């Protein structure tokens, strides 16, 4: 059962420690830069969950990096998403000719990411890749391609390091598990 009125953050069990996040994100940054060695990278971060991941990822990147943000809202209820996605905040800049990296917190059913990839691909980027900090493959409803995955996890509801439950817990420096 998930806490409905807030559990003190100190009581949330650690699922992925901060040190492990830091180490893996440095590896991902190297991998991403290695795939686009001599060109600009444009990071598109999905608000709000991807923000901490983006912030740490780009600080590990070499070369020219720019970023932009978008916000999506899913019509799902509780801890599941329906796959009906609405664009709440669009990007400030176009993607034409850019090497775009989508930065997402977690890919669960894959429906949100699939929608996002479709709309961004239509804007003619030079390349479009996706980095997700976490992936829950057992929950997938659609085959979506994710180029960079931080950690593959079992079906747990996780919070912290940008991920929320009812807007809480995003500030935890680690990934915790609520169930």
| Catalytic residue, candidates 56, 108, 147, 164 | 108
Shortest CB 99 distance to ligand 5GP, Å: 23
Residue 108 a catalytic site member: yes
Residue 3 has φ and ψ, to the nearest 5°, of -70, 130
**110 lies in the binding site for ligand 5GP (CB under 6 A):** yes
User: Out of 95, 102, 106, 172, which residue is the one contacting ligand 5GP (CB under 6 A)?
Assistant: 106
Give the nearer residue to ligand 5GP in terms of CB position, either 60 or 164: 164
In the complex with ligand 5GP, the residue whose CB is nearer, 68 or 164, is 164
- Strand ranges (E), the chain: 14-16, 41-47, 65-74, 85-89, 99-107, 127-135, 148-152, 158-159, 175-177
Tell me the Cα Rg of the chain.
16
Binding footprint of ligand 5GP on the chain (CB under 6 A): 49, 81, 104-113, 157-159, 163-165
């Amino acid at each position: 059962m998930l806490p409905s009125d807030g559990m003190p953050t100190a009581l949330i069990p650690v699922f992925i420690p901060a040190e492990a996040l830091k180490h893996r994100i440095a590896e991902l940054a190297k991998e991403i830069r290695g795939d686009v060695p001599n060109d600009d990278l444009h990071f598109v971060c999905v608000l709000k969950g991807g923000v901490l991941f983006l912030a740490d990822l780009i600080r590990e990147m070499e070369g020219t990096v720019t970023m932009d943000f978008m916000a999506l809202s899913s019509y799902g209820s509780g801890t599941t998403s329906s796959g009906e996605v609405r664009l709440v905040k669009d990007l400030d800049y176009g993607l034409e000719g850019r090497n775009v990296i989508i930065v997402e917190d977690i890919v669960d059913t894959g429906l949100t990411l699939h929608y996002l990839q479709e709309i961004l691909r239509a804007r003619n980027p030079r390349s479009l890749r996706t980095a997700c900090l976490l992936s829950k493959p057992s929950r997938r409803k659609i085959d979506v391609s994710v180029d960079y995955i931080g950690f593959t996890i079992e079906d747990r509801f996780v919070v912290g390091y940008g991920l929320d439950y009812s807007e809480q817990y995003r500030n935890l420096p680690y990934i915790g598990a609520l169930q």
